[in-house]
Amino acid sequence: MDKLKLVEAAMHELGDVSAQELSSFIAKQHGIKIEPMFIPIFKASIRDKLRLDAARHAARATLELAQPATPTA
C-alpha cells in the first residue's frame, strides 16, 4: 500500500487528529515511517482528490440529464 493510501486509511479510522498521531499510528499499524511534516501534504492531496471526484461525478450527472432520450423503435 502506498503512503497516500495509508494516510487516507488512518484518517478514516482515527478522524481529525494531529500529524504526529497519524504518523505514529501508521508506524505502529504498518511499520512504515512517514514524517509528520509530510502529513499535511498527504491530507491536501486527499482533499483535492475527493473534490475532483465530486466534480467529475457532478459533471457526468449534468451530461446525463442534458442528453436527449433516445427513441425506442
Query: Given this model, what pLDDT does residue 69 score?
Result: 65
Q: Does 64 reside within a domain?
A: no
What mean pLDDT do residues 34-38 have? 97
Residue 71 within a domain: no
Distance CA(51)–CA(36), nearest Å, equals: 24
Average pLDDT over residues 49-66: 93
Residue 73 lies in a domain: no
Confidence of residue 65 (pLDDT cuts 50, 70, 90): confident
Indicate the Cα dihedral angle 58, 14, 18, 9, nearest 10°.
Answer: -60
- For residue 45, what are the domain limits? 3-54
Name the average pLDDT for the chain.
93
Average pLDDT value for residue range 35-52 = 96
Q: Which 3-state string (H, E, C) describes 23-34? A: HHHHHHHHCCCC
Structure confidence by residue, pLDDT tens digits, 3-24? 999 999 999 999 999 999 999 9
